Amino acid sequence: MNEAIRKLWRVLDGALSWAEMIVVLTLLSATLLISFSQIVARWMGGGWVWADELVRYMVFWLGIFGAGPATRHHKHIAIDAFQQLLPVTPRLWIRRGTDMLAGILCVLFFIAIREYIGFIGDERSATLGVTVGTLTWPVAVAFVWIAIRFFADALLGATVDPEDGQPGLPVIPDEEFEESLGEEPVR
């Protein structure tokens, strides 16, 4: 049964990874396009009142949605100097515990953001004309995505890389995507 759950997670993780990549690429492209257009428009004596505020939100969204792929590949901030002194099995359990705590923190951030959205009510952005809550929801969604990753890693457990005996990833990364970047696939 555990192997069936792992297989299901690999499928869901792959779908989530593609969704994250599409969101990040779309946000990055739109941010660059709007920023460049705003620069050209200002150079020509014009510009859009709403562009600067939208770009600020989009950069924030880009950062938080970019944390999802970092979490998938365990490239997020980690203080693991102490862990390196331990044998592999305790390191695996420590990783599971820290992943669980990180997932809980992400859920708490989601709850705090939801409360914030309720607190600000119908307050509207001066230049964009939409509620600030609408602009804040993408951050809440990103924290849920990240929490799902942390919980899956904690519950399914990290594995040991057979090549170097170090704790490895519990999911198989998209090797074709990594090869397209010219990198060796992470195993």
Q: Distance between alpha carbon 3 and the CA centroid of its chain, in Å?
A: 25
Both tokens of 181, joined, read: 């970047």
User: How much is the pLDDT for 104?
Assistant: 97
Q: Which of 34-43, 113-122, 171-180 has the lowest average pLDDT? A: 171-180
Between CA 147 and CA 40 the distance in angstroms is: 40
pLDDT tens string 8-52 = 888 888 888 889 899 999 999 999 999 999 999 999 988 888 999
Range of the domain at 167: 2-180
**What domain count does the chain have?**
1
Between CA 71 and CA 75 the distance in angstroms is: 6
186 falls within a domain: no
185 falls within a domain: no
Q: Which of 22-36, 58-72, 115-129, 164-178 has the lowest average pLDDT? A: 164-178
Q: Among residues of the chain, what percentage have pLDDT more than 90? A: 35
Q: Tell me the β-bridge partners of 160.
A: 167
End-to-end CA distance of the chain: 23
Read off the pTM: 0.74
8 falls within a domain: yes
187 falls within a domain: no
72 falls within a domain: yes
Degrees, nearest 5: CA angle 52-54-56: 70
Between CA 13 and CA 48 the distance in angstroms is: 39
- Compute the 3-state secondary structure of the chain and give helix, strand, coil in percent, each to the nearest 5: 70, 5, 25
CA distances from 53 to 13, 42, 133 (A): 33, 15, 14
